[in-house]
Amino acid sequence: MAEYQVVCGRLSQIVFQNEENGYAVIRLTADDGEEITATGCMPALGLGEELTLYGKWITHPSYGEQFTAESFERHLPESVRGIADYLGSGIIKGIGQRLAEKIAHTFGEQTFDILQNEPEKLCEIRGITLKKAKLISQQYIEMSEMRLLMDFLLENGLPVWLTPRLYKRLGIDAMDALSENPYLLCDEYYEIDFALADSLALNLGLSRVSDERIDAGVIYTMTFNLSNGHTFIPIEKLVIAACSLLSDEEAEILPENIVDSINRLEMRAMIVREQIAGRDAVYLRQMYEAEDFLAGVLKDLATKHYKYEFNLEDLFIALSEDSDVEYAPLQKKAIIWAAQYGVSILTGGPGTGKSTTVKGMLKLFESLGLHVVLAAPTGRAAKRLSELCDMEAKTIHRLLEAGYGHGGRLSFQRGLTNPLDCDVVVLDEVSMVDISLMQALVAAMPKGARLVLVGDADQLPPVGPGNFLRDMILSGKVPVTELTEIFRQAQKSDIVMNAHAINSGKMPTASGKDGDFFIMRKADTASVVQTVTELCKNRLPNYYGLNPSQIQVLSPSRRQGAGTMQLNRSLQEALNPESPDKNEKRFGDIVFREGDRVMQIRNNYDIVWERVDGSDQGTGMFNGDVGEILQIFTLQECLIVKFDDKIATYTFDMLDELELAYAMTVHKAQGSEFEAVVVALSSGISKRLLTRNILYTAITRAKKLLVIVGSQETISTMVNTNNKGRRYSALKARMNIEEE
C-alpha cells in the first residue's frame, strides 16, 4: 500500500453510514488531537475503534479537505475511554453509554476477552444478570465473526450487505464454505449474479475451464431462466447461453463442454433432461418434480365426479330463491361443477360476476356440510376475498404455515404428511401463482378434497416459473367455466368497459366529466411525473374528495421513464415532505419518514405483529403488504409500521424489506384493488413492459376512478402488443399424456 497516504485515529463520530454498501462519512481524532473527516467503504463501524486508513487527501468543493479511504484496518480500542465509547455506541443491544462506562472501568483492557470467553464475570456489575451477560457475549461473538466475514468480502470485492445473509445460513463457516465453493453465492437466497461469484472463484485460483466452473455456469443459466418464467430450457438454448456466460478473452468454452456438464449434472440428479412438448427440455430437478407432480394430481382430481342422493341442481335453486340472488346460466354451471368435480376453474374479466359466483359456491358447500378454506397469493388479495365472502381468507403461505427452515430456506408445515383440515380449497387470483407454490398447496390438500381455482387468465402471469392457470385452461382436461356476460351494473362503468375493450385489442375511450375513466396526454418523463404528483396532491382530492391514501399510482417499470423510484421520490416530497416534527431514516437511496406509505417487498415469516386493538398477535408479513410508518425511533434503531389492523416493528437492519409505496409496479399491484388509480405511462419505458396484459391488469385495479397519464403512442403500443409472455412449460402437455 506504499502508493497510498495513511492516517490513523480514534473513531469519534459517524456522520453517515449506508447499511447496504458500507459507505461512510466519519470523523477521526488523531493522536495529536486533530479532527479528520474521512469517507469510504467502511462497514459496521463502532465509536472508539482505532482505525488505520489508506487512501489520499482531497479538497471537496463544499466540505473542504477530507481523506478518501481506499481500504482500512480496524483495531479494538485499548483505552478505557475508547472501550466505553465503543460498547456504548449501540453496536451491542442492551448496553447503553452508562453501562458501557461501568464495564470499561471495571474490566479495562480485559473487557473484550471477558466478553468473548468469560461472560459470567459481567455479573459483578450491578444490573447484569447471567442471562443478560450471556446475551451480551453472544452478540459480541456474532459481531466479531461477522466483521471477519465482512473483511473477507471486502478483500474479494464482494458487497458487504451479503454479510448477514451468509452468516445466517453458514455462520462462522461462511469463509471456508466460500473458499471451497464460491459459486454457492449464485443461490437465489443471496441475490448475487454469476460474474461476482466467478470473480471470487478466479481470485481463489479456480481454472476457467474447470468442471466446477462450467457446472456452476450451467446451473446459474438454468436458474436465471426461471426468473423469466420458464420451467425448462431447450437444450440448444442452454448450450448457447452457458457458452456466452462462461467464455471470455482468456478462455473459450465450447458447446461440447456444456453438453459434458449437462451429462454430469444429470448423473448427479441435479437436472432432468426429457423429450416433451416437442422439445429436448432440460429442467432443474425441483421444477421437473413440481410440474410432474401437479400434472399427476390434477389429472386424478379432474376424473373425480361426486354423486349425491339428491338432485344437486334442485338444492341450488332452492338456495338461490332463499338468498334472492338470480344467477346467470354460466354462473349456475360453475357453482354446480365446483361441487361435482374434484377440480374446477372459474375465469372471466371484470364485471362478469366472478365474486357473486364464488359466494354462490360457498352457500352450496355450506348446505352440503363441507368445510371450506379460502386462499389467495397475497395479503391484500386475501383481505379482499375475506371481505367479499364474509369469512376468513389466508395467504397461501399462511395457510400452509410457512417458515424458515435450516439455513434460512423456506419450508411449509403443511404438506403430504400433515395435510390441511378441509373438504374444499377455493383459491383466488390463480394467475399470480407459480408452479412451485401451486405444488406446495396441492400437496397439502387432504385426500378427497375439492379444489376450486378462480382467476383471470388475461392478467399478468406469475412472477415465478410457469403459467399455471393458462396451462390448465388450455389443457382441456379440467372443467372450466368462462364468464363472458358483463352485468348491467358493470356496464355503467367505463373502467370495466374499457378493460374489456383493451383486452379485445381496441383503444380505450375517455369518459365525460362525470365518468370514471380519464386520459391525460403527456409524453416525457418529467411532465408525466409532475402531472401524476399534481393529481395525487391537489386535483383528485379537491374534485373527488379523495384522501391521497385512497389513490394508488402504478407504473410498468421501476427505474425506466416515470418508474416507481422517481415517482415515489416526487410523491413523498409532495405528500409527506421533510419536517422537523417527523423523524426519518436514510437507507441507501431511500429516505423513510414518519407518515410514509411503505410496502413489504419479500415474505418474512418471523416478524412479530399485533392487532391495533391488542386483541391478537402473530408472526409473518408478506410480499405486497402495504402500510404506513407511524414512528421512527433513532436511538432504538427501529421503526413502527401499521398494516391495516396490524402493527409491526422493523429494526434498521431490516429496512431492505421495505420500500416506498406511493407508486408501485403493476406486477406488485396485481391482486389488489384501490378506490382510485393513476397509471403513469411515460416515454423511455422498455417495450418489453408495454404490453396489453400489463395495461389491462393496471386498469382493473381501479374500483371507482382511473386516470392514465401518458401519450397516445404508448397506450396504442400497449393495446396492440398482445404478448402473453410465451413461456417454456410442459404442464399442458403433461396433462394430456395418457397413462399406460
Which residues line the annotated binding site for ATP? 351-355
Longest dimension (CA), the chain: 96
DSSP 43-107: -S--TT-EEEEEEEEEEETTTEEEEEEEEEEEE---SHHHHHHHIIIIISTT--HHHHHHHHHHH
* Grid cell 421512527 in the structure block, residue: 632
Nearest to 558 by CA among 461, 711, 667, 714: 667
For 452, which DSSP code? Answer: E
Cβ burial, residue 693 (10 Å; 0-12/13-18/19+):
buried
8 Å CB contact between 665 and 558: yes
Nearest to 350 by CA among 675, 673, 739, 684: 673
User: CB within 8 A of 369, min separation 6: which ones?
Assistant: none
Give the residue ranges of the annotated binding site. 351-355
User: CB within 8 A of 76, min separation 6: which ones?
Assistant: 49, 50, 83, 86, 112
End-to-end CA distance of the chain: 71
Element (H, E) at 408: none
* Grid cell 472508539 in the structure block, residue: 48
- How far apart are the C-alpha atoms of 479 and 494, rounded to whole Å? 32
Cβ burial, residue 476 (10 Å; 0-12/13-18/19+):
exposed
DSSP 429-444: -GGG--HHHHHHHHHT
Residue 271 CA, chain-centre distance (Å), reads 26
Element (H, E) at 389: helix 379-389
Element (H, E) at 472: helix 468-475
Nearest to 312 by CA among 337, 344, 345: 337
For 718, which DSSP code? Answer: H
